[in-house]
Amino acid sequence: MFDKLESIESRYLELEKELSDPATIANQREYQRLAKEHADLMPCVQTFRKHRELAARLEENRELLSDADPDIRELAQEDSSQIQTELDELEDELKRLLTPKDPNDDKDVILEIRAGTGGDEAALFAADLFRMYTKYAELMSWKVDVLSSHPTGIGGFKEVIFSLSGNRAYSRLKFESGVHRVQRVPTTESQGRIHTSAVTVAVFPEAEEVEVEIEPNDLRVDVFRSSGPGGQSVNTTDSAVRITHAPTGLVVICQDEKSQHKNKAKALKVLRARLLDRKQQEQRDKTAEDRKSQVGTGDRSERVRTYNFPQNRVTEHRINLTLYKLEHVLEGEINSIIDPLTTHFEAESIMQSNHA
């Protein structure tokens, strides 16, 4: 680990020289690229330097532990214990900093919420989850843009696809993929029995055009009139767009906008995100020794969370976390779930890096 840290520090010093070079300063694109690399390395280098200073102090104290004066020996012993504790903490921090970063963490996200088993009740809960994530986006000062939706007549969604744009959106939401289960008494239930329904959530990093090349000849674009509940003029023009990607068979439908052009742009955005996700999943499958080593890849068939209304309880099954504040969670206060989830998967990732 320390050999790697030495090489990172050397690169950091090289970058400092390059950033002060007039030729680099004159080339703004290159300057920004190098400045970003320098900023990315800074936390690691600063932590390493602090560790090195403390290690030197600990070495000096070792000489004082054999001093003739018992008071000096006692002080040196106390100081050494404190330094060792700090060194252990810094080593843990360095391991975390050296863990490979997810290149998608800084990206915006596309969320797809689909009603699963449970009929109308599942569609209503899909709407509840959509509201929960949009409330969370408000708390995080992110922008929400609905890309496609298939509402039901009773206020639910068969499917809703939307993007969230803001600071490190993907890093916060990437572990939300999976089956979200709800347990509650439906409004239509006269006997007061609790029903269990399921909704699937899929989270994709938003893909740049340069990351996913789509050949125009690979696309079949169909236009038709929007269907389902809608406002004025929704059903009067052929504004809805269906894009089929021939090589993969992926189909995206967007009909929320009145403009055919806008619906096509949104459909392409969703298609690019799905293609990038598929490409990255194939890469993970190739490099992973087995499914267990794929930490936090968001298996969408996995039951990840249960929302129990009668007990005001939310259970995050992957980390055995139970919270009795369902009403707060549904108002978008989900950092109390996201933070421990992120810590858990980061720890798993560090362990895998150490065993690699």
Digit-coded pLDDT (tens) for 254-298: 887 888 888 888 888 889 888 888 887 776 665 454 434 333 444
Query: Is 290 in contact with 166 (CB distance < 8 Å)?
Result: no
Residue environment code for 183-221, b if the CB has 16+ CB neighbours within 10 A, otherwise e: bbebeeeeeeeeeebbbbbbbbbbbeeebbebeeeebee
pLDDT in tens, 221-231: 888 877 655 44
Tell me the pLDDT band of 46, cut-offs 50, 70 and 90.
very high
* Confidence check: pLDDT of 80 > 50: yes
**Rounded CA gap, 104 and 170, in Å?**
7
Q: Please, are residues 120 and 188 in contact by the beta-carbon 8 Å criterion?
A: yes
Q: What is the pLDDT of residues 181-198, one digit of tens each?
A: 999 998 767 677 889 999
Domain 109-288+295-350: CATH class, spelled out: alpha beta
Residue 329 has pLDDT above 50, yes or no: yes
Cβ within 8 Å of residue 245, ≥6 positions away: 214, 218, 219, 251, 271, 275
pLDDT at 313: 97
The Cα 201–Cα 183 span in angstroms is 17
Alpha helices in 250-334 (DSSP H): 260-287, 326-330
What residue spans define the domains of the chain? Answer: 2-98, 109-288+295-350
Whether this prediction's pTM lies above 0.95 is answered by: no
Average per-residue pLDDT for the chain: 85
Does pLDDT of 348 surpass 90? Answer: no
Sequence-ordered list of residues with C-beta below 8 angstroms from that of 149, at least 6 positions apart, any chain: 157, 159, 160, 161, 162, 256
User: Looking at residue 16, what is its pLDDT?
Assistant: 93
| Contact (CB, 8 A) for 87 and 58 | yes
Contact 309, 182 (CB under 8 A): yes
* Bridge partners (DSSP) listed for residue 198: 181
**Confidence at 172, pLDDT banded by 50, 70, 90:** very high
